[in-house]
Amino acid sequence: MQYVKPRDEAELLAHLQRDGATIVSGATDVLVKMRRGMRPPEVIVDIADLRELHGVSKSVGRVVVGAATTEEALLNDTTIRLHFPLLTRVLASLASPQVRSRGTLGGNVANASPAADSAIPLLVYEASACLVGAEGRRELPMDEFFLGPGRTALAKGEFIRSFALPIPQVPWSIFYHKVGQRQGLAISVASLGMLIRCSHGVVQEVRLAVGSVAPTPMRLRVVEGLLTNRRLSDSLAAEAGELAASTVCPISDIRATAAYRRQVIGDLLRQFLASASGPCAGL
Amino acid sequence: MKIRFTVNGLEAELDVNARHRCIDVLRNQLRLTGVKEGCGEGECGACTILVDGSPVNACLMFAPQMDGKELRTIEGLAQGDALHPVQRAFAEAGAVQCGFCTPGFVMSTVALLERSPEPGDDEIIDALSGNLCRCTGYRKILDAVHLAIDLSKRASLQAQSGASAGTVPQPGGAGALPCSREESHKCNM
């Protein structure tokens, strides 16, 4: 195993063109896999101290987050808290303080776990990833980034430079719940995030994303379509819950059965919609 | 691979194996065996150390990643024979059974109180959510954190009044064990 620390993006790109090169930042995932028997990567390219990939900055109409920004730094970032409160909420329940000190947004996303918590806010805020490869840069909507468990649209030799999140022009009401087996360090069994805007009880716009109930984190666009321009009611919530439960495609594994996961997603959505039609619904 | 870092205030320059983890270097090369290895997967927090002030699992960090960092372990807390307020609080509150998880809990608590000197229960529970105790439970650990908050406050007040008045610490003050038996019974309730 070779261990290299590129000093800038050009060096990083050069190292990534080598066979067996793997990017590591917090190492919170690769060291767990190695302990469980995975062969160490041939070349570890450590980007934890690469300043160019760190930090949160504002550009025209959007906020850009460096891929190697730690989850803890993001959790404490006031720009993120102000514009993307759902991301802050998700990070607060992600793993543990120790893991958040080292783990990065880029790492959580690039590992492409179906349970990757931070994928949900990135999907509902319609973020895009800035990818850099030998051929140059490209911007990819997060919706097209995840291809399957552990599989992403990243090409060989390409890395995630940053994420761009468009700043919402009108504030959303936010909802998020992760069902796990305990509070701290829980790997989600099922999770649902929702952004919604209502006017006089009618849904103007809604975005839904789920985790751990499909091969990748994903938007529930069919359910969003059902809800848009409809008046919130118990029967609409029930209908949406059923549609959500039948849209997701979970598996049974060590943490829960597929049937349980479907039920949880449907129930969570019904609860969210009931809260959304509560006292603040007219706002 | 050569790396340089500071650990508990001392500068270190070491040749490390890039396959090794931070915890391997601390325990095997530096003999800082207060850093405990429980699960080795970042679930239990027994190996919690501070890296540039943040709590980190020493089992989830490659040895080369220690380069240029400022590390603190449980061994660096006491000043000579005087325990750190958080250590005193854990002992006084009886927040220890087998003791294996204790260095990790203490380091997480130190990180918390340095960032937020008077945290509420929710904040404490979140700060300790990456640490597991399998012996006894968490009630006395919470008591210990509350006691540590009091002790730290008292210590800093004493430091302030001592500095302004130019007096030496009073007997029963900073030098003595600041938590009486009675108080420790109170915190155990």
Q: Is the pLDDT of residue A283 over 70?
A: no
Amino acid residing at A68: A
User: Cβ contact (<8 Å) for B41 and A32?
Assistant: yes
Q: Is the pLDDT of residue B172 over 80?
A: no
What distance in Å separates the CA atoms of residue A282 and residue A148, rounded to the nearest whole number? 39
User: Cβ contact (<8 Å) for B62 and A44?
Assistant: yes
What percent of chain A is modeled with pLDDT above 70? 96
Domain A173-276 in CATH: superfamily? CO dehydrogenase flavoprotein, C-terminal domain (3.30.390.50)
Question: By three-state DSSP, how is residue A166 classified?
Answer: strand
Amino acid residing at B96: V
User: Cβ contact (<8 Å) for B130 and A185?
Assistant: yes
Domain A50-166 -> CATH class: alpha beta
Q: What is the pTM of this model?
A: 0.91
CA–CA min distance B33, chain A (Å): 19
Residues B113-140: b if buried by 16+ CB within 10 A, e if exposed: beeeeebeeeebebbbbbbbbeeeebeb
Tens of pLDDT, residue by residue over B38-91, are 999 999 999 999 999 999 999 999 999 999 999 999 999 999 999 999 999 999
User: B42 — contact with chain A (CB < 8 Å)?
Assistant: yes
Interhelix angle B102-115/B139-165, nearest 10 degrees: 50
Domains with residue ranges and CATH for chain B: 2-76 (3.10.20.30), 85-188 (1.10.150.120)
User: Cβ contact (<8 Å) for B41 and A92?
Assistant: no
CA–CA min distance A276, chain B (Å): 26
Give the per-residue pLDDT at B186: 41
Tens of pLDDT, residue by residue over A60-112, are 999 999 999 999 999 999 999 999 999 999 999 999 999 999 999 999 999 99
For residue A99, give the nearest of B62, B127, B130 by CB distance.
B130
Give the per-residue pLDDT at A119: 97
Domain boundaries, chain A: 50-166, 173-276
User: Any idea how long chain A is?
Assistant: 283
Q: Between the CA of residue A144 and those of A85, A112, A129, A205, what are the distances in Å?
A: 23, 12, 10, 21
What distance in Å separates the CA atoms of residue B67 and residue B65, rounded to the nearest whole number? 5
Measured between CA atoms, the residue of chain A closest to residue B63 is A3
Phi, psi for residue B173 in degrees, rounded to 5: -95, -135
For residue A98, give the nearest of B19, B21, B56 by CB distance.
B56
User: B127 — contact with chain A (CB < 8 Å)?
Assistant: yes
Q: Between the CA of residue A183 and those of A38, A78, A147, A277, B7, what are the distances in Å?
A: 28, 25, 29, 28, 32
CA–CA min distance B45, chain A (Å): 8
Measured between CA atoms, the residue of chain A closest to residue B60 is A28
Tens of pLDDT, residue by residue over A241-280, are 999 999 999 999 888 999 999 999 999 999 999 999 875 5
For residue B45, give the nearest of A2, A36, A96 by CB distance.
A96
Q: Are A180 and A117 in contact (CB under 8 A)?
A: no
Q: Are B112 and B133 in contact (CB under 8 A)?
A: no
Q: Between the CA of residue A8 and those of A12, A46, A53, B19, what are the distances in Å?
A: 6, 11, 9, 23
Q: Give me the residues paired with residue B39 across strands.
A: none
Give the per-residue pLDDT at B182: 41
Which of A206, A196, A171, A150 has the alpha carbon at shortest distance from A84?
A171
Model confidence at B173, pLDDT cuts 50, 70, 90, reads very low
